[in-house]
Amino acid sequence: MQTQETGSSKHASANQSRPGDSSRDDVVIETRNLSKVYRDFWGRQKVRALKALDLEVRQGEVFGLLGPNGSGKSTTIKLLLGLLFPTGGEALVFGREATDVQINERIGYLPEESYLYRFLNAEETLDFYGRLFEMPAKLRRERVKQLIEQVGLNWAKRRPLKEYSKGMVRRIGLAQALINDPELILLDEPTTGLDPIGTREMKDMIIDLKSRGKTVVMCSHLLADVQDVCDRIAILHQGELKELGRVDTLLKVRDVTELQVAGLSDKALAEIRSVIDADGAKLQSVDNPTTTLEELFLSIVQDSEARPGRKATGSDS
């Protein structure tokens, strides 16, 4: 039997791990009070895109950024990549400011729409990005060949990207993000434009990256994808962090108990525990039921709109 209430308050709230709580050596991304205000030409405030975001992403994690359109997740990614400058606070990647060019040696980035040069073919594209990392020619050739095979584009490697389908462009986009064998991979809507097989392959690739100790930060609208691959997620709404924690913890409905009972008679339904004891039945498990990420997401957004300004408070890990 399972009952469920909506509202984020009923879900497990997740505490962010605090600096000093554990070893800080494995912190890959850290934002402190990170804020971004978009201004017009005259410096007047247009949009407050991100409000005092505190985040930590540790090595080897697959971290998901969720939020509706305009929630600030793309802004967060862009701030982490140095594509935007913070209005307040700071964004640190590998312990250095996000605008520091040197950290890009260890980063791979797959943008939302694989913004690639469409007059180049797959080999040229990967070779070009490899040259930006000053990779030796031999290593570059090997890496290009390996990545093209990995993303399954060997048959089209000499065709210019302008002749590629959207899914093919996404694949080559992923390959360019991995050209330098990065430690941190930022994926913006990684499964957009992919067919179900491509989506599955992408998710497998993310899991594979995790198994190789890489850190992956992804933002996506496709909640099922996030649920499948992410260890932890942050839910943003209107520029504020609304929820943060492990996916399995967040999806547990704490105030509802789910009993799985084998051989329970109809008479015992009213007073379960006593009847179980009296009836001599065996209690197999007592647990909280899980909701879907979609339900969690919708409940947080509804709650946020009902009570604007409330931030994530609770905790997990």
> Is residue 133 a contact point for other proteins (CB under 8 A)?
yes
> Is residue 47 a contact point for other proteins (CB under 8 A)?
no
Q: Which x/- pattern over 3-42 shows residues binding other proteins (rule: CB under 8 A)?
A: -----------------------------------xx---
> Is residue 116 a contact point for other proteins (CB under 8 A)?
yes
Options 10-18, 24-32, 96-104, 199-207: segment touching other proteins (CB under 8 A): 96-104
Give the residue, chosen from 58, 78, 237, 246, that forms a contact with other proteins under the rule CB under 8 A: 78
* Cβ atoms of 230 and 296 closer than 8 Å: no
Supply the DSSP string of the chain, one letter for each residue: ------SGGGBPP-PPPPTTSS-STTEEEEEEEEEEEEE-TTS-EEEEEEEEEEEEEETT-EEEEE-STTSSHHHHHHHHHTSS--SEEEEEETTEETT-GGGGGGEEEE-TT----TTSBHHHHHHHHHHHTT--HHHHHHHHHHHHHHTT-GGGTTSBGGGS-HHHHHHHHHHHHTTT--SEEEEESTTTT--HHHHHHHHHHHHHHHHTT-EEEEE-S-HHHHHHH-SEEEEEETTEEEEEEEHHHHTBBTT--EEEESS--GGGGSSHHHHHHHHT--EEEEE--B--HHHHHHHHHHHHHHSTT--------
Give the residue, chosen from 28, 29, 50, 107, that forms a contact with other proteins under the rule CB under 8 A: 107
Report the C-alpha gap between 11 and 176 in whole angstroms. 39
Where do we find the tokens 């890489």?
A: 214
Give the residue, chosen from 104, 257, 288, 302, that forms a contact with other proteins under the rule CB under 8 A: 104
Tell me the C-alpha to C-alpha distance, in Å, between residue 252 and each of 6, 10, 13, 190: 12, 9, 10, 26
Q: Which x/- pattern over 136-175 shows residues binding other proteins (rule: CB under 8 A)?
A: ----------------------------------------
Our CB check for other proteins shows the closer of 74 and 291 to be 74
Q: Which x/- pattern over 180-219 shows residues binding other proteins (rule: CB under 8 A)?
A: x---------------------------------------
> Is residue 105 a contact point for other proteins (CB under 8 A)?
yes
Options 8-16, 103-111, 215-223, 261-269: segment touching other proteins (CB under 8 A): 103-111
Our CB check for other proteins shows the closer of 81 and 244 to be 81
Tell me the torsion sign for CA atoms 76, 82, 83, 86: positive
Give the residue, chosen from 124, 279, 295, 316, that forms a contact with other proteins under the rule CB under 8 A: 124
> Is residue 239 a contact point for other proteins (CB under 8 A)?
no
Give the residue, chosen from 72, 111, 198, 239, that forms a contact with other proteins under the rule CB under 8 A: 111
Options 23-31, 126-134, 199-207, 244-252: segment touching other proteins (CB under 8 A): 126-134
- In the bound complex, what is the minimum distance in angstroms from residue 125's beta carbon to other proteins? 9
Residues lying near other proteins in the complex (CB under 8 A) are found at 38-39, 43, 78, 81-85, 101-102, 104-105, 107, 109, 111, 113, 115-117, 119-120, 124, 128-129, 131-134, 176, 180
